[in-house]
Amino acid sequence: MNDLKIFAGPANQALAHDICRYLNLPIGKISIGRFPDGEISCKIDEDVRGRDVFVVQPTCPPVNENLMELLVMIDSFKRASSYRLTAVIPYFGYARQDRKDAGRVPITAKLVANLITRAGADRVLAMDLHAAQIQGFFDVPVDHLYAAPVLNNHFQSMELEKDEIVVVSADEGSIKRAVGHANRLGVPLAIVDKRRISADTTKSTNIIGASVEGKTALMFDDMISTAGSICSAAEVIHRHGARAIYAAATHGVLVGPAIERLKASPFAGVIITDSIPLPPAKALPSITVLSVASLLGQAIKRIHRNESVSMMFQ
């Protein structure tokens, strides 16, 4: 492990330090600043020539600032002659723009993948991409991690009886994710029937599948952004008699009216991970933050040793 170096970008330094503690490694020394006109400056404060370098930097809000910092850091390490450079992106921004769903619009997820590749990244380590096909947008290897084991372990630690639990998919697009969680937890599945009324309005009315009456409902998603869909689904589940409702997501983006919606929702708890730092202003009593540092640390160790990453999930 002597040739392994882990550096923290400004976006989520706490997570990078936790990864280093898990691996029993010192955090790399790097200085990120601003010139008077706002341009980003970067200086690597230690030798990285011939080293296996990992840069931890999610592209969470402010997305453009964090993305540009990542690109500048990647360029710095390539010019400092690192042996291999892995961009560790726990949350990959612009992931929802992954296809042309209208005329004259960009595929920004592909553009960002090109930028990261051309900047000099030799491989990418990401977690719960919004769309799995984004892995194919990169012209370098991508290791895709899942936070499902961390989320499932949390609910198993609550020692709920299996016959009291129902996994609920908030919409048709989350069915595959919900099926995976239901199978791992050994519980039944229900689906909220969500109908689109207009381009920006949806209505959730019915529940298909297992009954939620008197049960603890668990809802899983890759991210909670404005919380509109998941709170709307929770209201439907609540009206159908669920005893308790929990939401779990890998990425707590929590922008716009998300916090106010979660405050007014019937959730007994909201579980997210530290892939994105949670500002104190958004830290509700109902929100629980789980660490994915050990998951990322194990993946980094396996990549460094040229071992299988997919074996972590088998």
Q: What domains can be seen in the chain, in order of their start residue?
A: 4-145+293-313 (3.40.50.2020), 148-290 (3.40.50.2020)
Residue 195: per-residue pLDDT: 65
User: For all residues of the chain together, what is the average pLDDT?
Assistant: 94
Rounded to whole angstroms, the Cα distance separating 124 from 137 reads: 11
- In this prediction, residues 110-127 reach a mean pLDDT of 98
Strand ranges across the sheet with 216-224 = 201-209, 189-198, 165-169, 216-224, 244-252, 269-273, 287-290
Token pair, residue 94, equals: 């612009």
Q: Which of 194, 203, 215, 282 is catalytic?
A: 194
Dihedral of CA 43/47/53/54: which sign? negative
CB 218 within 8 Å of CB 168? yes
- In this prediction, residues 106-131 reach a mean pLDDT of 97
164-211 residue pLDDT tens: 999 999 888 889 999 999 999 999 999 998 765 554 555 557 899 999
CB 53 within 8 Å of CB 7? yes
**pTM of the full predicted structure?**
0.94
Rounded to whole angstroms, the Cα distance separating 145 from 159 reads: 26
221 forms beta bridges with: 249
- In this prediction, residues 95-123 reach a mean pLDDT of 96
Q: Would residue 29 show up in a list of annotated catalytic residues for this protein?
A: no
